[in-house]
Amino acid sequence: MGRVFVAGSINMDVVATAERHPRVGETVAGEAVLYFPGGKGANQAVASAKQGVPTTLIGRLGTDAFGQELRTFLAAQGVDLAFVKDTAGTHSGTAIITIANADNTIVVVPGANAQVDANDVAAPVLAKGDVAVSQFEIPLPTISAFFRRARAAGATTVLNPAPAKQVDKDLLDLVDILILNETELGVLTGAELSDSDTPARFAEAARSLARGKIVCVTLGRRGVLALVENQPLLVAGREVKAVDTTGAGDCFVGALASQLANGRPLRDALTYANIAASICVQRMGAAPSMPTAQEVGAVLSASRPGEGRDP
Ligand code: RIB
């Protein structure tokens, strides 16, 4: 069995729930303030570790109360924190999140996450069969350094380019599997996309990013469209009642990485990750919502996974 290494952000999510989102310049009365461990890197690491796969997180925390709380939580989820450094002189990453009608808006203040550097990602020793995962809440040159090391070790590299920003070809060329949603696909390709577009339209946009890699476009309740050697594979989603979609994409990425590290074929891994994300959205919070392997297994054995077909 391979291991999963996640280089990424660790945040405390400060969540306000309200009946609706305020418009710009408007104040609305909220309902509750909640504190959840989050950050795309931490969420993905928790999602992987909870599938029973050895998972190491590489990142940074501030030396503040949030940092201590996040470290305690992540350790309790079974995430290896040997390469998570406490960093003096800065605060732990913090996300200010508003949730209304299951939809969120997020402002992330990186704090210590902005200081994750090439030396941090040089410390762990990766091997063939491992899976190296990253996202865009740590500096991009750090991700490049991480993926170069992973590639040299024979590990599979997985990039989730979220939150979306322009990325140069050199970094994309270090990626084996790119996982992104339709918004991120639009930013990276310059294509005008909307969530009601057909899978064929997403496949067409994803083709320009493929260049030898697998591209997976997550489509929320519609499932996921993967482009493998330029051939589209659609894995259907699961209809559930969402209460909070925060971290659902991270759940998908972490669960998929865990299954690839276990040697599962891509199609099975996509089905598994879809189910994991569908469980995640039925709970409040990001990292605490990640399902266990038993929970995913129960749905998997009770359901008939969607059939792959051309869009
Ligand atoms: O993807 C969800 C995550 O984005 C939240 O947990 C928040 O911390 C932001 O990083």
Mutate which of 6, 98, 105, 106 for ligand 1? The one with the most ligand atoms within 8 Å of its CB, which is 106
Structure tokens given for 7: 């280089």
Number of domains present in the structure of the chain: 1
User: Is the C-beta atom of 43 inside 6 A of ligand 1?
Assistant: yes
Rounded Cα distance, 52 and 308, in Å: 27
* Rg of the chain, C-alpha, whole Å: 18
Residue 281 maps to a domain: yes
- State whether the beta carbon of 181 lies less than 6 angstroms from ligand 1: no
The pLDDT > 90 percentage for the chain reads 94
Strands 214-218 and 177-181: parallel
The ligand 1 atom at the shortest distance from the C-alpha of residue 286 is: 6
Q: Tell whether ligand 1 has an atom less than 6 A from the beta carbon of residue 95.
A: yes
* 99 found inside a domain: no
Q: Is residue 170 part of a domain?
A: yes
Angle at 261 between CA 255 and CA 267, to 5 degrees: 65
**What pLDDT score was predicted for residue 102?**
87
What's the chain's average pLDDT? 95
Nearest CA to ligand 1 atom 10: 39
Query: What are 168-222's pLDDT values in tens digits?
Result: 999 999 999 999 999 999 999 999 998 889 999 999 999 999 999 999 999 988 9
Residue nearest to atom 9 of ligand 1 (CA): 39
Question: Residue 152 is part of which domain span?
Answer: 4-9+38-91+112-303
Q: What is the pLDDT of residues 91-138, one digit of tens each?
A: 999 999 999 998 899 999 999 999 999 999 999 999 999 999 999 999
- 236 CA distance to ligand 1 middle (Å): 25
Does residue 106 lie in a domain region? no
CATH (domain of 215): 3.40.1190.20
Q: Is the model's pLDDT at 283 over the cut of 60?
A: yes
Q: Which residues pair with 232 in a beta bridge?
A: 227
Distance CA 53, CA 1 (A): 8
Q: Tell me, using a 6 A CB cutoff, whether residue 244 lines ligand 1.
A: no
DSSP-assigned beta bridge partners for residue 235: 224
Q: How far apart are CA 247 and CA 150, in angstroms?
A: 25
* pLDDT surpassing 60 at residue 310: no
Is residue 25 in some structural domain?
no
pLDDT at 304: 61
Rounded Cα distance, 188 and 180, in Å? 10
